[in-house]
Structure 1
Amino acid sequence: MSCCDTLLLSRAGHLGDSDSCHGIKSDLSRLSLQRHNWKGAHKASVGCPYLETDGEPGDFDPMNIAKQLRDLGDHYDATVIQPLMRDVQRARTDQVASMFTNRVEYLCKTWVAERPEIVPEKHLLKATMTLSLYLKNNCPDLKEYVRDAIFHILNNQLGSWIMQQGGWESVSSPL
């Protein structure tokens, strides 16, 4: 039962018993027509005491309804969908950056175990640059997400070590 059917039944319940049965049957048949043909339904509902419309019988404008629906859709998109997408995008950014940092640390530990004679900071630098270049070449849409993770590794984990070595020129010697 649609909301229109419910409205008709509730309004008909307020009438006397003699009017209720006749009114409900005729209004339900009009609603059945209304579901299939808007213009026919409007014509069928003219003079119906139970069905309320907002305007005159001849001023039905489907373009106005379409505009209102479009406005409602735009409002819903702006207030619900776009904020949700921004939250999802932020979550994706955090996950990609976290994954990148975890993979860099894993590579670094693996290389340190293989070649302990090289300082761990060089392995960390190599792992960071290797994964960065891999992502840049194979997953260019992810490079924006890992940029902050790369800066964090370079500034927070390697920055003081690079300065102790005398800058980037001294650090750039091959492994």
Structure 2
Amino acid sequence: MAPNAEIVEWQTGEIIKCLLMDDDEVQSRKGLLDAGLECDGPTDSQDDSFDPVLIADKLRSVADSLNDNANFRAALSDLKKAAAQEATEAAFSSGVETLCQAHVSRGADVAPEMQLIRASVAFGLYVKKWSPELKNKVQSAMTAFLTRRVGTWVTQQGGWDKVNVKET
């Protein structure tokens, strides 16, 4: 059964939470999932194949190729200034848009939605690594951005566990 927008929004939040977790938190969460314990969230339509840790790991691997992009430093600087002014979501969106326009993230064979996902994940992981004090604000901004910009597309694909996340 395909998830609705509410389920995809919850899935997005869980994926971003896992994506930005510290390594020890990820290992702990993997242990809980391996033990068969379920995470809090919608259960009436939740697909058993949804694993936010696994999806976050896949997204992390596709975003790695953007880490050396010079646009990151400028976008991170803008994000730090915006965070001080409580405008994190707008700065995050602007940074992702800038990265998507960069030559590195362009590819005729990559769906625009995947470009947004890839740039968002790369940007979020870069911020986590180089400005850990912004992690909570970025987690919220990433979740809102991805829900708003690709949530409908993810729902049409059948949920995050059906999105074909691959390196391009």
Which one has a bigger Cα radius of gyration? Answer: 1
Greater relative CO, 1 or 2 (CA 8 Å, sep 6+):
2
Relative to the length of structure 1, the TM-score reads 0.43
* Structure whose residues are more often helix by fraction: 1
